Amino acid sequence: MKEMSKIVRTVTNFVYGFIIIFGFYIIAHGHLTPGGGFQGGAVVASAFALLLISYGRLITKKFLKKDIMSITESCGLTMFIVVAFLGLGITFFYNFLANTGSWFGNTTVIGINPGDMNTGGVIPLMNIAVGLEVLSALGVIVLIMAGAAEFTKKKENS
Amino acid sequence: MNLSNHIPILIIAIPLLAAFLVPLIGRINKKATGILTTLALSVSLILTIALAVKILTVGPQVYVFGATSPSLTLPSGLKFPIRIIFEVDAMSIFMGLITAIVSFLGAIYSLAFMKNDSGLEKYYSLLLLLTVGMFGMVFTGDMFNFFVFLEISSIASVALISFRGTDLGEPAEAGFKYMVVSSISALLVLFAVGIFYGQYDVLNIAAIASVMKYSQLDKIALGLLVPVLAMKAGAVPMHMWTPDAYSEAPAPITMILVVASQASLYALFRVVFSLYNISLNALTVGWIIIIFGLLSMFIGVTMAIIQKDIKRLMAYHAISQTGYMLLGVGVGLAVLANPAALQKYGITAMEGGIFHIMNHAMYKGLLFLTAGALFFSTGTRDLNKMGGLAHYMKYTTIFFIIGAAAIAGLPPFNGFASKLLIYESVYRFNPLLSIIAMVVSILTLASFVKVFHSAFLGPKLPQFKEVKEVPRSMIFAMAALSCIIIFFGLFPDLIVKNLVHPAVMSLIEQLQYTGTVLGGM
Amino acid sequence: MKKIIFGIAFIIFFSFLIVSAINMRTFGEPNYSEMDDYFIENAQSETGANNVVTSVVFDYRGFDTLGEATVLFTAVVGVVALFRGVKK
Amino acid sequence: MIGNLPYVAVVIFIGLGIYTLMFKKNLIKIAIGVVLIENGVNLFLITLGYRKEAIAPIYTQAPSGQAMVLPTPQALTLTSIVIGIATTALILSVAMMIYKHYGTLDTDQVRRLKG
C-alpha cells in the first residue's frame, strides 16, 4: 500500500484526531443520542483506515500495532461478559445499576427530556466495552487485510 | 443466590469467558491454553449432566435473561414474553449432552494431535466458540437468538476447517464452500424470522407457535426453513460441502462438526414439531423429510464405496447415517396426524431416529479420531498408500474395529440398537423403506471391511517401520468413546426409556413446550 | 445440465420471494405491535436509557448483542489464524 | 402497489444475490452475491419496523406529539449488519488464501488444480 499525495496526508493529520473524538462521543452517548458501541467503534475504525490509506502500511505499522489491538479486543469483550456476569445474582443480563442512584444510576425523567449522562445503569458500561471491542476488531481486520495483500501477491509472482 | 437455577446460562458463559481469555493467556505461555480449554469444557460437561438430571426429574427448565427472576417469562400484564428465553426441555438437553461429551473429548484429543501446529491459542479459542455456538443453538427458545448462534457455529467452523489453509490449498477451498453454504442458510433463516416477526411481532418460538395462524406466509417460511436446515445438516440434495469440509478439517474438529450439523438437524425437528406441529399437514412434510432421508442414505453409501481417501469415505458415511435419522423422525412426523398409528409405531420410529443421533455422534466421532490417529502417525489419508498398520498401532486397530462394527449395526454395539428400532417401526409404516435401510446398512459394512483390510491388514510395509502408537491423550479420547458405544450397545433400553423417550415426548407434545413459557400448563 | 437444475431452483426460489413480498402486510402499518409498544413505554422507567433502541439492544435483548460481539470476535480470530504466517 | 415498494426492492436484492451465487464463477463475485443477499435481508428486516408518520424512538429533545417507530427491528438489523461484516471479512480472507495457493480465482480451475 503506497502512501498518497501530500495534500491527503496533511488533511489526515488534521482530521484524524477529530474522527476519533467523534467516535468516542457516539460510544459514550449511546444511551441518549442515536448510536452506541457498534456505530462508535466503526467510526473510530474508519479513522484507522484513513491513516492506513493516506500513509501506507509501513508507516502505519509504527502507529497501530496489531498485537495491542488484539489485546484491547479481548479486554473489551472480557469486560462486556464480566458486566453481564455481575448481574448473575438475579439473572445473567440484569441491569443492576439502573435507577439505584449509584454509578450511572439517576432515574430519568419519563417522557421527553434533555438527556442526563448519568442514567442508563449497565448500558453505558456495555456501550464502552463493545465500542472498545469493535474498534480494535475492525482495526485488526483492516491491518491484516493490508498486510495480506502483499503476502498473497508476493507468492503469486515468485 | 443459589446457582442451581442459573445452570443453563453457566454452561454457555464459562466456555465463552474462557474463549475470550485464551488469546490473552496464549501470549503469556502457550501450554496453558490447552489446559484452560479442557478445564472450561469439563465444567460445562458436569453442568450439562446436572441439568440433564434436573430436567428429566422436574421438567423443562426456563431461563429468562435480564428479568428480575430466572423464571419470570411474562412481565406484569403481558400475555407473551419480551426478553430472550432459554427453554431447555428433554430434547434440547439430549443434544446438549452429545455436544458436551464430544467437545470435551475433542479438546483432550487435540492436546496431542495439534501439538506441532502454529497458532494454538487461536485454535483453542475457535474450538470453545464452536462449542458455545452449538450449545446456544440447542438451548435457545428465541428464533433470532437461534440465528445468532447458528452464525457463531458456522463462522467458528469455517475458521477451523481452513485452520491448516495457510500452507495447504484444499482446506481453504473447503472452508470457502462451507462458508458460502452456511451464510446462505443463515440468511434465509433470518428471512423466515423476519416473516414471523412481520406478522406476529413476537420472536419467542413458543409465543409464535401459540399465535401461529398458518397463513400463506407461514407456509413460505416453512418452505424456506426445512430445505435450508436440511442443507446445514448435510442431507443429500445440498450435501456438496460435507465431504470437503469433513476431510480437510483436523480430526477432532471433524468430530465436533458432525455434531454441529446434528444441531441444525435438531433445529429442523424443533421448527417442524414445536413451531408448526399439527397446523402443517404432517403427511406431506413427513414424506418430504423421508425422501430427504432416503436420498441421503442411498447416495451417501454408494458414493462412499468408491472413495480412496479415508476421511472422505467416512464423510459420505456421515451423510448416509444422517439419512437414517431423517427417515426415523420423518416416519414419526408422517403419522403425527392419526394418534392410533402414532402410538403403534410412530413413537418407536422417532425414538430410533433420535437415539441414532446420539449413537451416530459417538461412533462417527470414534471413526474420525482413528482416521486422525492414522494421519498423525503415517502422515497420509490415502488408503492405497496405507497397509499393515495393525502390527504397529494395536489400540487404534481395536478402536477402529469397534467403530466400524457400530456403524454397520452389528448386535453388541449401539448402532444396532437404534437401527433395529428404525427397521421394525419403518417396516410397519412402509416395508420398502425399511428394506432400503437394511441394504444401505449392508453396503456400509462392506465399505468398512474394505477400509479395514487396506489400512490395517497386510504385510509390514517398509516405509512405516518407525510408526509408533499415538500419544496417551488421543488414546484416552478414543477409549472413552468406545466405552460409551459399548455401554449403549449393552443396555439400550436403559438409555431409550429415560433419555430418548422423554425427548420424543417433548417434541410431539407442542402444548408442553408452549405451556412452560406462556404459563398455560 | 447443471445450469438447467440451477435455473429451475432459482425460478422456484424467486417465486417464493415474490409471493411473500405480495402477501406481506402493507409497509408502515404493523398489524401487531404490543411488544414494541411495551418497549417504547417502559424503556425509560426500566432501563433508564432515553434511546429505546439501545435499551432493546443492551438490556431487553442483551444476550443477542453478546452473541453478536462473539461473532465479530470469532471472525477476527479466524482471520488472524488464517494469516498467522504473515511476517509482522 | 406503492405500499409494498420496499418489499419489491428486497425481492430484487435477494434475487440478484442468489443469481450471482448460482451462475458466477469468480470467487469474489460469489462473495459479492452473499453481501447482496445480506443487504436484501437487512432491508427486509428494517422495513418491517416502520410506522406511518412516526419518528425515531429516542426521547432526548424529541418533537412532542408524534408516534414512535418500532425499535426491535432496528436492534435485529444492527446485529445482522455486524454479522454481515464478520462473514464478509472471513469469506474475503479465505478467497485470498485460495488465490495464494492456486493463483486463480475461477472456481472451475480451482477444482481442476485440486485434482
Residue B337 lies in a domain: yes
pLDDT in tens, chain B (521 residues): 567 778 888 899 999 999 999 999 988 888 888 899 999 999 999 999 999 999 988 888 888 887 777 777 777 767 788 888 888 889 999 999 999 999 999 999 998 888 888 888 899 999 999 999 999 999 998 999 999 999 999 999 999 998 887 777 788 889 999 999 999 999 999 999 999 998 888 888 888 888 888 888 888 899 889 989 999 988 877 788 888 889 888 899 999 999 999 999 999 999 888 888 777 777 888 888 999 999 998 899 888 888 888 888 999 999 999 999 999 988 888 888 878 877 888 888 888 899 999 999 999 999 999 988 888 888 877 888 887 777 878 888 888 889 888 888 888 888 888 888 888 888 888 888 888 888 998 898 888 888 888 888 877 777 777 777 788 888 899 999 999 998 888 888 888 888 888 888 888 888 888 888 887 43
Our count of domains for chain B comes to 1
Measured CA to CA, the distance from residue B236 to residue B231 in angstroms comes to 8
Range of the domain at C14: 2-82
3-class SS string, chain A: CCCCCHHHHHHHHHHHHHHHHHHHHHHHCCCCCCCCHHHHHHHHHHHHHHHHHHHHHHHHHHHCCHHHHHHHHHHHHHHHHHHHHHHHHCCCCCCCCCCCCCCCCCCCCCCCECCCCCCCCHHHHHHHHHHHHHHHHHHHHHHHHHHHHHHHHHHHHC
Closest partner residue to C82 among D49, D83, D97, by Cβ? D97
pLDDT digits over A113-154, tens only? Answer: 877 788 778 888 899 999 999 999 999 999 998 888 777 765
Measured at the alpha carbon of residue C1, what is the angle toward residues D106 and D101, in degrees to the nearest 5?
A: 20
**Structure confidence by residue, pLDDT tens digits, C56-72:** 998 888 899 999 999 99
Q: List chain A residues with CB under 8 Å of C73.
A: 73-74, 77, 133, 137
- Give me the residue from C13, C53, C72 closest to D57, CB to CB: C53
Q: Give the number of other CB atoms < 10 A from CB of residue C26.
A: 12
Pairing, β B85-88 against β D54-55: unpaired
Q: Does B433 touch chain D (CB under 8 A)?
A: no
Q: Which residue has the higher pLDDT, D12 or A4?
A: D12
D18 touches chain C (CB under 8 A): yes
- A83: nearest CA in chain B? B17
pLDDT one-digit tens code per residue, C19-61: 888 888 888 788 888 888 888 888 888 888 888 899 899 888 8
Question: For strand D67-68 and strand B61-64, is the pairing parallel, antiparallel, or unpaired?
Answer: unpaired
Which one, of B2, B89, B54, lies nearest residue B507 by Cα?
B89
Q: Which helix (H) or strand (E) holds D72?
A: helix D72-102
Closest-CA residue of C relative to A80 is C66
Residue C45 forms contact with B (CB below 8 Å): no
Residue B384: all three cell numbers together: 492405497
Q: Does residue C67 lie within any of the structural domains?
A: yes
Domain housing B379: 281-490
Question: Are the C-beta atoms of residues A152 and D96 closer than 8 Å to each other?
Answer: yes
D61 touches chain C (CB under 8 A): no
* Closest Cβ–Cβ partner in D45, D73, D95 for B176: D95
Q: How does pLDDT run across A56-105, given as a tens digit for each residue?
A: 888 888 888 888 998 999 999 999 999 888 877 777 788 877 777 777 77
Under an 8 A CB cutoff, do B173 and D87 touch? no
Nearest to B65 by CA among B193, B260, B266, B203: B203
Torsion angle, alpha carbons of C17, C19, C22, C23, to 10? -110
Task: Write the CB contacts of B442 (distance below 8 Å, at least 6 apart in sequence).
Answer: none
Residue B71 has what DSSP assignment? T
| B67: contact with A, CB 8 A cutoff | yes
Instruction: Give the 3-state DSSP-derived string for B430-479, with helices as H, strands as E and coil as C.
Output: CHHHHHHHHHHHHHHHHHHHHHHHHHCCCCCCHHHCCCCCCCHHHHHHHH
List residues bridging with B85 in a β-sheet.
Answer: B64
Please answer whether residues B75 and C45 qualify as being in contact, where contact means their C-beta atoms are separated by less than 8 angstroms.
Answer: no
Residue A66: its chain C contacts at CB < 8 A?
88
- Are A114 and D100 inside 8 Å of each other by CB? no
Q: How far is A46 from chain C, CA to nearest CA, in Å?
A: 16
Closest CA to B235 of B246, B224, B245, B226: B226
C-alpha grid cell for residue B78? 403481558
pLDDT digits (tens, 9 = 90+) for D40-91: 999 999 998 888 888 888 888 888 888 888 899 999 999 999 999 999 999 9
D97 inside 8 A of chain C by CB = yes
CATH number of D2-55+67-114: 1.10.287.3510
Residue type, B130: L
C-alpha cell at position B501: 423417550
**Nearest CB to B64: which of A88, A89, A91?**
A91
Q: Which residues of A touch B16 (CB under 8 A)?
A: 81
Chain A CB contacts of B66 under 8 Å are 87, 91-95
The model's pTM is 0.94
CA B298/CA B279 separation, integer angstroms: 31
pLDDT at A153: 67
Q: Check residue B521 and give its pLDDT.
A: 39
| Residue B347, CA distances (Å) to B326, B335, B425, B500 in order | 14, 9, 9, 11
Distance CA(B46)–CA(B455), nearest Å, equals 37
Where is B85: in which H helix or E strand? Answer: strand B85-88
Domain membership of residue B162 (yes or no) is no
Chain A residue whose CA is closest to C86: A151
Answer yes or no: is B349 within a domain: yes
Q: Which chain D residues have a beta carbon less than 8 Å from that of A151?
A: 100
ipTM of the complex as predicted: 0.93
| Pairwise CB contact (< 8 Å): D82 & A138 | no
Task: Name the closest residue on chain B to residue A98, using Cα atoms.
Answer: B66
Q: Is residue C61 part of a domain?
A: yes
Establish, for the pair of chains B and D, how many residue pairs have beta carbons separated by less than 8 Å: 81
Select from B476, B27, B93 the least CA-distant residue to B252: B476
Q: How far is A127 from chain D (nearest CA, A)?
A: 14
Q: Is C88 on the interface with A (CB under 8 A)?
A: yes
* Number of independent structural domains in chain C: 1
Count CA within 13 A, CB hemisphere, residue A117. 5
Chain-chain contact of B21 with A84 (C-beta, under 8 angstroms): no
Q: Where are the domains of chain D?
A: 2-55+67-114
- C87 lies in some domain: no
Task: Establish, for the pair of chains A and D, how many residue pairs have beta carbons separated by less than 8 Å.
Answer: 41
A137 CB neighbours in chain C (<8 A) are 72-73, 75-76
- Cα within 13 Å of Cα(B168), Cβ side: 15
Burial A64-90 (b: 16+ CB within 10 A, else e): bebeebbebbbbbbbbbbebbbebbeb
Q: Is residue B410 part of a domain?
A: yes
Residue B23 contacts A, CB cutoff 8 Å: yes
* C63 interaction partners in chain A (CB closer than 8 Å): 92-93
Cell reading at B279: 397446523
Helix B472-490 with B90-113: angle, nearest 10 deg? 150
